[in-house]
Amino acid sequence: MSILKTIHSPADLKRLKPAQFPKLCQELREQIIGAVSSVGGHLASNLGVVELTVALHYLMDTPQDKIVWDTSNQAYAHKLLTGRREQFHTLRQYGGLSGFCKREESVYDTFNAGHAGTGVSAAYGMVEAREQQGLKHKVVCVVGDGAMTAGMTLEGLHHAGGLGKDFVVILNDNQMSISKNVGAISSYLNRTFTGDFYTKMREETGQLLRKIPHIGYDVEKLARRAEELAKGAILPGLLFEELGFRYAGPIDGHNFEHLLPTLENVLKMRGPVLLHVITKKGLGYEPAEKNPVWFHACPPFVRETGAPAKKAARPSYTQIAIESLIQAARDDKRVVAITAAMCEGTGLNAFEKEFPDRLYDVGIAEQHAVTFAAGLAAQGMRPVVAMYATFLQRAYDQVVHDVATQNLPVTFCIDRGGLVAEDGTTHHGAFDYAYLRHMPNMVVMAPKDENELQHMLKTGLQYEGPASIRYPRGVSLGVPMDREQKELPIGKGELLRDGTDVAIIAIGVSVWPAVKAAEQLSHEGLSTAVINARFVKPLDQELIVNIAKRVRYVVTVEEGCKMGGFGSAVLEALSEAGVTVKTKVIGLPDWYIEQGPQDLLRERYGLTTDGIYRSVKELVTKSPIASHEPELFSAAVDHLPHGDEQGS
């Protein structure tokens, strides 16, 4: 009989015997592998944290006790144990379970997260809220070893360690092999160091030593230092001890005989404690164990072999961008590339193969990546920062303060711009047009296809200042590629088709749907022009204003937020030129976009050919102009057809 099917909440878990846990873990892994093979997702990290998840919910009283999962892409077993097993097949699907923790989804999800490094700070905020409210529950933060490279994690540890409140941080270390000190001796030492007797003896000895006149505090410090040295000879915890945390570990995160008693002791300890747990990525699924990097965030795959379920017929925009970067690096030795722990995701592993000494992976440290690039640029190099749009948000001030104010030639390759499908709310690249276009000196570009992408990369590298090139997730269009990269004139768009009734001004991946919509409109008697803006900043005001003066309607299209984005830039240009024309901005609304396939979301928010066509027809139908009287300038930013309420 299935054990997992009897678990509807952690209360059911507590009725099991620890001897049943290995079978439960096997069932959890089977469920996770089955779901991810069908829909894609974060597999390797989730398979590695199963035993730890079971142990936490068994020993803690959730949801009264709080578990914060840093990044939360390793919380699949957590979801299965907290009443979401029957919905688990909807993972990462439109209208289904999120691939991350989501407070709106369950009371067991204490904090929403999709970016690494936020967990310790959020969890310690919960600790202080508990203290302020006079409550007694436990707060535990599970943080991966990768997130330890995030400056925010260290800031949180420093703060929490200095204030000394009861708080447990579990370092889930899945990058190390299980070494000798994660065996019986280490397990015995950790049970000893975290046990009630040892903890009580340590505190009472400290109190006794402090009472010795004149020398008590010095003797206590000497005793503590001796203890640290003794532990440091066996256990790698001095860094955390210096930050104010009691350190325990490392222990085998897959061995319940070690994990349960040590974790039970740690949960009883007073003050800040860090438990170091060693786990293996992909445990229980051989392909993921052999290739944990690919299975970190993978597409659907064939369960029997681990091979991708289908191969793309064309290269991705990411591949085109990095191939173009490699060619540029061959021609210019000043070109170097920087990533923040996303070498494979941004395609820079291909760059690294050819230029291993010119690729810098700085870890999950986006702020450092940008300022590091600024330092390189200040000394004559041509750094390229390749980063997802959602992650560049984390380095906003560094882009402003360290790059743009000094007008340094740093090129930002902004991957995953726009809608990114199943990763959902925390990962959609909705805001980069808006948060970059208002920075002085910044050039903001987006190509209509892969051929224009290669030219934009060359343009950015030749520009004597900061430049960004934004491209989407997914396969390219398959357009013919020019043999050589060429530099585009900064701030110049292109008129793809002329017209006298309507002008559609589009940017990035929205350009070709706009062209197709214009063809349909023209067949119906509405002469429709299409401008490929190419540049959000500097905007080609001359081209846009000249076209706007001779049409009756202007529609802008972007796969980004309408508020402050590309459409806003066009409206500002028309206002400055004194052009009064009926307008409509098509883009993403003022709420966080849900998860779902890119095509479905584009249809939902009117960004397809049909959606653009309908929006233009709606604008024309609602705007009688037979009198030819001057129209008031307006930006129609009402909801598109099929839009839901805010917060959907």
Please list the active-site residues.
281, 366, 394
CA–CA separation, 147 and 159 (whole Å) = 17
CA–CA separation, 263 and 285 (whole Å) = 26
Burial of 454: CB neighbours in 10 Å, binned 0-12, 13-18, 19+: buried
Q: Is 356 in contact with 108 (CB distance < 8 Å)?
A: no
Q: Is 109 in contact with 103 (CB distance < 8 Å)?
A: yes
Structure tokens at 18: 């620890």
The length of the chain, given as a count of residues? 648
Residue 78 sits at the vertex; the CA angle it makes with 74 and 301, to the nearest 5 degrees, is 50
Alpha helices in 489-584 (DSSP H): 511-523, 541-549, 566-577
Q: Is 278 in contact with 176 (CB distance < 8 Å)?
A: yes
Closest CA to 377 of 341, 412, 409, 347: 409
Beta strands in 54-138 (DSSP E): 66-69
Which residues neighbour 149 within 8 Å (Cβ) at sequence distance 6 or greater? 341, 362, 363, 364, 365
Helical (H) or strand (E) element with 252:
strand 246-252
Amino acid at 275: L
Helical (H) or strand (E) element with 336:
strand 335-339
Alpha helices in 524-565 (DSSP H): 541-549
Residue entry with tokens 């051989």: 286
Beta strands in 370-501 (DSSP E): 382-388, 411-415, 443-445, 467-470, 494-497
Cα–Cα distances in angstroms (integers) from residue 36 to residues 90, 92, 98, 103, 295, in the given order: 10, 9, 13, 22, 10
Closest CA to 320 of 350, 340, 361, 342: 350
CA–CA separation, 233 and 452 (whole Å) = 57
CA–CA separation, 499 and 528 (whole Å) = 4
Structure tokens at 457: 């990369």
Report the SS3 class of residue 133.
helix
Residue 68: strand pairing partners: 141
Residue 504 sits at the vertex; the CA angle it makes with 498 and 509, to the nearest 5 degrees, is 110
CA–CA separation, 289 and 295 (whole Å) = 9
Which residues neighbour 569 within 8 Å (Cβ) at sequence distance 6 or greater? 437, 536, 537, 539
Q: Is 415 in contact with 457 (CB distance < 8 Å)?
A: no
Provide the b/e sequence for 366-390 (b: ≥16 CB within 10 Å). Answer: bbbbbbbbbebbeeebbbbbbbbbb
Cα–Cα distances in angstroms (integers) from residue 345 to residues 44, 116, 317, 349, in the given order: 15, 15, 12, 9
Distance of CA 460 to the CA centre of its chain: 25
CA–CA separation, 516 and 243 (whole Å) = 60
Say whether the peptide bond before residue 300 is cis (omega within 30 degrees of 0).
Answer: no
Q: Is 32 in contact with 43 (CB distance < 8 Å)?
A: yes
